[in-house]
Structure 1
């Protein structure tokens, strides 16, 4: 049976890497359906994403042979089948526009994810979760209970086998420990055009500065607040007549669209980490 795969890799740049990868895939019966590569001259690194079909080897055999092929090239690589959607856990507080948007896109077949659970520090969206038949976990968080709450959150994430955690306007700052545990698989949406207006109440900060553009940023979660590698951004116009409420209302659509694009690209293995930046093969 023909199986579709996605291979992503990065390594020190050198002559002939595209030829080497395509030659390896041809040797093992792989038919390339989509390919993209990028050479970062600043770091001397090479990045590549290849989608291919193969009917000669199973997943385990391909991974074993890829490991042998990759070693002399010092490649960091991953191989995924396209048949199974990415298991995902969503986290939210009291603003539900991003949550609602992701759930609708998922059920409409627009996102290749499998939403396994919703975690919230408030009860507001348990009925929304139930309408999509998604388990809802209410875990209150206070300064005194933060460690225990995060332990429970991580237990749920691991129990669901989540490859992706989405902070869909989850307004609690994650501990350094949880950030490390979720490194490379947690995406946050911040309601400003980072690096401007980090931290709390960015729309208030933007209004105070009289900006003419407001924005949203989807980025990977790190221990440095709102400084993780950026995946996607977008903006909306603002002017001197806008109130904070106007900016907040207008920004919701931008936040939802930016987060949805970031989730889609991550779940299609189009985002590769490049230090504190990303390479996104759209």
Structure 2
């Protein structure tokens, strides 16, 4: 599996605070079946990560993992705040695209409220030949109430990432139900962990894939679509949902 949302770079945001945290996240992800992780630090006013900082962090973590024998590939990336995005040039944004292919960019969706002007912002990103990947919208209050509201954004070319912890119930019933509704509507394209520290939302990709209840769709969401994104290629066609979701108790 490929995890395209992780705060694994140490000391840049509210994710890993030390290289030991980063190693532990990677080791747990590897044990869960993950072979590659995109480092997607926050790029927003409270964590104004620059592309230079992200690139240095990836290079340092790659060296450390090689020395430690940790068999997880670390990929370039960033989680770009919508407000911050408008103040960054296209060249800077392209450096934050997944694996720096210049094509797919992770965009942070807020937890509360529908962001003003999001349609125009994502349209402008598409004009610059970058495809927005909307991060964790199933956790947004407006989307929970009306998941279909994302449809126009997807129809205009955006992709949607849902959080593993939403699907397996760790983030509560409302986020779980919202995530599954997006799957049912064909409005979700990949699962990612949004892992922060070993104690806060670790990977759990395998449990989320199992919760999907459809092996073909789970493989698409955790392997096929992420692989295409990392390669800068078009996504394969989203498979029809054939299975039934598992009923999970909440902790």
Where relative contact order (Cα < 8 A, 6+ residues apart) is larger, the structure is: 2
> Whose strand proportion is higher, 1 or 2?
1
Task: Name the larger-Rg structure.
Answer: 1
TM-score, normalising length from structure 2? 0.35
TM-score, normalising length from structure 1? 0.32
